[in-house]
Each structure stands twice: as structure tokens, then as C-alpha cells.
Structure 1
């Protein structure tokens, strides 16, 4: 019975020993190899080991830097499979290559974060300039190294087409028309006696640009047209200023309503580009219970309205340096109905009067002269015969002994000056000739007389 039991007893022990041997061998195989090293973004394994799937302990692999990267001096490009089946630690040994600085952009800006491989540079231009070429370049692999993928752009001053031409007019020409170039228009001259052209619209336009950086002119050009307005009339009113036989562009006329009427609108109308007057005031009859605005010289009415009701009061303030006859600078008046006020005094500006007429050498005042002048008075000056007026003939007094545009002067005309110079030259010449005849010619005769007398004496 005993011997027959031994084989079954040895069977499990053999199996256990075999399992332990296999386990030991398997562990030894696993611990003695390394898997392929992890991928690096800046380097790759050399070609001869790039396809190997396992490496024994002690194996050494070498790297090469990827395109766009270069070796960092002093750094190792190898790794070793250790006994723990792990690759030796890696310290970055390749760094990005750098592109050259792209340079300056005249009249523009360069946005550079860095110059390393893969980086980008953007461009923009100053106001009034636009980019010609790409607005972005990249640092890429090129010719075995790295370089910019495109040529640099440049900034050009935004150009405009030549300015529009206009009928009956012209503009100042320029060598080129670019951003901020301005041109000025003028109307053509017309023959004497013909109706002149007037410039309607902006005199000057300039080159600018739109949202797409295309050159455009700041506005439409002006027009040259003949503008003639008819003699203006306002019912129940008369002209206060602006009298004339004809009216053209921008001429103005001032109206005032007849007594018992009040003006609605502006009292000054202007001849417009369409040969019409504007604005168009009207004169409305004042009701029995109302008043028109009081007319005060050198003063203002508060509150200012065109019509006031009976019993309504207003305050009148005199202008600076002006007072009412009683010396006060303000007063209150009341509408009594029928267009009349409780008082109709004007402000007087006596301190601003001048007690003398301007002194005009070689000239005189021919119109408007009086002992003293108030602000707003006009005088007209002319020069004596042979003198020319330098300045305006008609000037206005503005107070404190001052006139605008300034007291003119009378200067000897060029023609008279030339005549005087010729006359002086003639007189000088005649005087010199007389001196010569009197002294030099007579002296010659005296010199001959003694010689002749002596000769006669000797002969005798």
C-alpha cells in the first residue's frame, strides 16, 4: 500500500516548483527590459532605434533635435534604460530656433511677442496709411533653418483719385493727392458787365478715407453758379438797410415793420444759393390790447418777445457804459395797449463819444463829420489831389477814440513823386551848367587876357 501512494504525493510538489521557476523567470524578463521611451515634442529617436519595441537594461538611445529646434550646448542627447526598467530622467536638450527680427515698419507698428519657431508677427499702419502686403507672418522651417514665411509688408499713404472738376470753376492742383491733401476751388472770371459766378458749397475739400481704407474726398465739390435775387418786399414793412439796385449771393436786407405791426421771424433776410430770400418774416397787426417789443437803442429787453399783452411789464437794461438820461442803467416799462409803452427812453452812451475828428494829413473828411461821435458813427475820407489813400475811405467809430478798420493815411502818389524827381534833376543840372559857364569858362578868358596885353606891350 505504501509504495503505491508515493507518485500522487510528488505530483503537486513538482507543479509548485515549476510554477515558482516560471514566475521567477518571468519577473526577471519583465524587470530586465524597457519599453520605448516617451515621445518628446522637441526631439526624436535616431532612425536605427525608432522602431524597436523593447530595450534591455543598460541600453542607451540617442536623440536628434526636430526641425525648428537646435541643441542646447552642454546638454546630453542620450537616455539609458535602468535596472528598474525606467529610462533615465530627461532634461530638455533642444530649444526652439529663432527667426531674425523682421525690422522696422515705416509709418507702421510691429506686434512681436517672440521670435521662436512657430511664432507669429502682426503688422498695422499709422492713421492715414494702409498696409500693402500681408498683415501677419510666421516663423517656419526654411532652407534647413527657420525664417519668415512671407515678405514684409509696407505702409503706403492712402491715395485719392484726382478731385472732381466743376463747371465754370477750377481747383488748385497738386503733384499727388494723398491723405490730408487739400484743394481749393475758385470760380472763373467773367467778362466785364456779365453776371459773376458765385462759389456755392465748401471752398476747400481734403483727401480722407472710408471704413475700408479707400481714399475719398471729405465732401462733394462746390458749384459755380450765377445767383440773382429779386428786390425783396415784406408786407407792412420797409427796408432798414441793404438798399441796392440788384442783389446777389449772400446779400442781406434788414426790414422793420410799420407802426402798429410786429415782426414774426428774423428782421434780416439773405439771398440764398437758389436765388431766393430766406427766412421770410411777416409783419402782423398789433391788437388794441397788445404791444410790440419796445425798440431801445444800446439796450436789451427782458424777457424778449415779439408781442406783449396790455399790462405786461418788461425790464430794459442798458449796454455797458450806457445809461438812461436820469443816470440809471435799467428801468421797467409797461404795455398800455395799442402798441404804446409807459416810457420810450433810449440808453445814451456819452462816455464813449469822441470830441474830435481824426487828423488826416493831406486829406479831409467829406461825409459824416460832426463835433463829436457816438459808437457806430461813420465818416468818409478823401485825399487831396496828388495824394493816394492808403486804407479804407469809410471808417466807423467804436469808442475810446478808436476807428475801424483804422484811420487811413494820404501819401504822395507815385506819379507825382516821379514828376518831382525829374524836376529836381533838371534844376540840379541847370544849376551845375550855370556854375560851369560862370566860373570855368570865364577863368579861361581871364587867363588869355594878360598874355594878349603883355604881347601888345612888347610889340609896342
Structure 2
């Protein structure tokens, strides 16, 4: 039966719970004193700790503390995977505490042996682990036989998937006989890649004979399906008395056509800000002999920039002012006292002395105009008063003088 009240002098003893142990020097017995208080005071049971489990080679764990009830979660470095428990706990064991399981290990992620390929080999190894690689090559063939070509990436390496399973970085290559026919182009000739037999990745470069022009690619390559990619070109006879449209960097043609007859002229106009070396913006050329335009000159363009500060009447630039401006530069404008800005205060240079938004203006403020109007009205009123006083008052004096004279004459 548990007691609710204890007389003075009573003693009670405690036992530390599992996972806790007695604090050295602290009594487990309390006594009820004359002051009706228990003594001695203080913590007498403290939590037990598990021993440090050791370092995890090629891995790590989130160590916060080692006290009873704490957990350790284990992780492996890239290229390794966990063998054993992912998590252990500091639990009660026998008379004390201990870890719920053994420390796991981190092993390097293994891959299965790489796949074999027909007519090809690779250097075999005892094991294949993360980041190891193998390189394939094709078998040699008897002299006089067509050799094998390696199609695809020669080297693959061991990597891992999302579940830390070892996988190869890609499919293995193939060993295949690739043999493209000797490409011949009528009215054309090879200028590179001479030979009679062509295998994988061999290339040939063509040009046409005089009087013919190339249709298609000038470089072709023997690909894995024993075909030329792109297809071999053809050499077409150049149309008589016709000039192809001249190339005009930084300019345009007038009129625009794909080709021009012999003797036909075309005008070349340079783009804005561009000109020919002599300073002109237009030139006319004529289709001449042998489909030639003669010595064509190109339009040279001035670099975008060299913009000047815009004129702001009754205002000024307060930020961004420079001696010259490049496309993209900004300036900020404000008006003098008494004037109001009409437009945006911040504008950007876009080239050819153009600003976006447009350059603002400074207009006289409304209250200044009102003051001027008041002054004008006051001046007008004063002038009117002065005129009235000067002329109308004098007229009144002239009228009174005769009356006074007449009055004097009537008196004896």
C-alpha cells in the first residue's frame, strides 16, 4: 500500500530506471526533516550513454549524441552502397545500454561483367566496380578480308542507378564491316579522300570542273550503313550568260533576283549607318563575261555609338551624361525650377542619335503662368487707373473754372 503522508524522520529510497544510472556521490535515499521537506535535494539519476560506434569507412552518420534512446542514421559516399542496417538505436542491454545493431559497411558499387559483342573483345578484369571502364576493339581479320569497324562509343564505364545498383553507362559498340562504294561525280573531281575502297568515317571532298557548279554537299562521309552521308553531290552545267546574285553583307539588292542575265544591272544599297569605301551608300554593278560582277566592294558599317547629349531647353542631364553614347546607355533629365517635365525622365540610347522614350521637354509650370497673368492684370489695371486719373480728372477742372469766373462777375 502506497503511503500518502510520511511522518518526520521517514526515509524513502529510489532505484534508477533502466537506461539511467546513479550519479556518483548522490544518495538514493531521502529523509523527511523537521521542516517537512525532503533532503538531500539534487539529481541522483542520469541517462546512460552508448559507446562511440567507430568511424564508417567510405561513409558517415549524423551523430548528435550517444545517450539512451538516440539514433544513428548511416550514409555512404558516392559510388558506395550500404551493407547492413541503415539505422541503429541506443537501447537497454543487460544491466546497461548498447547499440541495437552492428556498424554497417559501405562497399563500392559493383557492376556485372560488360556484355560481349560479336567480332569484338575487351580487356577482362576480376571485378568491375563504380567508375571502372572497359574499352572495346574489333578483332583482326585475315589479310585481304574486309576489316571490321567499331560502331558506337568504344568505352563504357560502370555507374549506378537511383537504387545504387551498378549499371553500365551505355550499350556496347558493334563491330561491323562498313564498305562504301567509290563515289564518282560526273564533271567533278575529288580534291581530298582519294582511294578506291572506303570504310567507316572515311570522307571525300569534291569540286566541279570549270563551267559546272556543285549541287549538294562538297564533303561526304561513309557512315555505318555503308552509305555516303549526305548523298554525293552532282555537278550541273552553268547556265550560259547568267550571273548568280552577288552576296551583299550589310546591304540589299534592287531588284532582288536569284540570277541576272548578262548585261543586266543591279543596284546595291548599303544599310543605314553603312557605306562603301568611297563614302557612297549606293553602287550599280553589271553582269559581265564569265558570269562575273567584277570587283565587288562591301558595305562597311560604323559601330553603333557616338551619340551626343540631347538638347534640353530649360533643363539638364543629372545622371549618365557622357561625351558620347553607346546603344543601351541611359540618361536622367530634370527641369529647372519653375518648369515641368513633359515626358519620361529616364531615356535610353538606341543608335543614330535616337532615344527611347523620346527626349522630354520642359514647359513653364502652371503656377508661374498664373503669377504672370496676375501681374499682367495688375499692370493693366494700374495703367487704366493712371489714364483715367490723368485725363478725366483734368477735364473736370476745366469745367469748373468758367463757373467760378461767372460767380465772381455776379458779385457786386
Tell me the TM-score normalised to structure 2 length. 0.57
Q: Tell me the equivalent position of 1:107.
A: 58
Pairing 1:380-399 to 2, within 5 Å after superposition: none
* Counterpart Cα distance in 2 of 1:251 and 1:314: 45
Decide whether the 8 Å contact of 1:333 with 1:343 is kept in 2: no
CA 262–76 in structure 1, closer or farther in 2 if over 3 Å, else same: farther
CA-to-aligned-CA distance 1:166-224 (integer Å, 9 cap, x gap):
10111011121111111111111111111111111111111111111111111111111
Q: Is 2:186 the counterpart of 1:229?
A: no
Q: Tell me the equivalent position of 1:266.
A: 217
Q: Secondary structure at the match of 1:61?
A: strand
CA 289–143 in structure 1, closer or farther in 2 if over 3 Å, else same: farther
Shift of 1:257: 4.0
Shift of 1:86: 6.6
Greater Rg by CA: 1
Q: Is 2:289 the counterpart of 1:340?
A: no
Structure 1 runs, 4 residues or longer, greater than 3 Å off: 78-90, 233-238, 257-266, 281-290, 307-315, 332-339
Q: Larger % of helix: which? A: 1
Q: Is 2:144 the counterpart of 1:203?
A: no
Tell me the TM-score normalised to structure 1 length. 0.52
CA-to-aligned-CA distance 1:233-262 (integer Å, 9 cap, x gap):
457644332221121111111122455665
CA 251–293 in structure 1, closer or farther in 2 if over 3 Å, else same: farther
The equivalent position to 2:244 in structure 1, one of 287, 291, 294, is 291
The equivalent position to 1:158 in structure 2, one of 109, 112, 116, is 109
Q: Tell me the equivalent position of 1:138.
A: 89
Q: Tell me the equivalent position of 1:76.
A: 27
Q: Tell me the equivalent position of 1:40.
A: none
Pairing 1:314-393 to 2, within 5 Å after superposition: 336=287, 339-343=291-295
Provide the alpha-carbon RMSD of the alignment.
3.5
CA 245–275 in structure 1, closer or farther in 2 if over 3 Å, else same: same
Q: Which moved more, 1:241-250 or 1:141-150?
A: 241-250
Decide whether the 8 Å contact of 2:75 with 2:82 is kept in 1: yes
Q: Tell me the equivalent position of 2:366.
A: none
* Counterpart Cα distance in 2 of 1:85 and 1:312: 119
* Counterpart Cα distance in 1 of 2:164 and 2:184: 52
Q: Tell me the equivalent position of 1:52.
A: 2
Decide whether the 8 Å contact of 1:132 with 1:156 is kept in 2: yes
* Counterpart Cα distance in 1 of 2:192 and 2:285: 29
Decide whether the 8 Å contact of 1:198 with 1:224 is kept in 2: yes
CA 184–293 in structure 1, closer or farther in 2 if over 3 Å, else same: farther
* Counterpart Cα distance in 2 of 1:335 and 1:89: 118
Q: Where does the alignment leave 5 or more consecutive residues of structure 2 unmatched?
A: 251-256, 261-265, 271-282, 298-412
Shift of 1:79: 3.6
* Counterpart Cα distance in 2 of 1:334 and 1:153: 85
Q: Secondary structure at the match of 1:249?
A: coil
CA 226–131 in structure 1, closer or farther in 2 if over 3 Å, else same: same
CA 72–198 in structure 1, closer or farther in 2 if over 3 Å, else same: same
Q: Is 2:28 the counterpart of 1:64?
A: no
* Counterpart Cα distance in 2 of 1:113 and 1:225: 59
Q: Where does the alignment leave 5 or more consecutive residues of structure 1 unmatched?
A: 1-50, 295-300, 316-331, 346-460
CA 144–253 in structure 1, closer or farther in 2 if over 3 Å, else same: same
Decide whether the 8 Å contact of 1:290 with 1:335 is kept in 2: no
Corresponding residue pairs, total:
270
Shift of 1:336: 3.3
Q: Is 2:142 the counterpart of 1:217?
A: no
Pairing 1:115-134 to 2, within 5 Å after superposition: 115-134=66-85
CA 163–313 in structure 1, closer or farther in 2 if over 3 Å, else same: farther
Shift of 1:55: 2.2
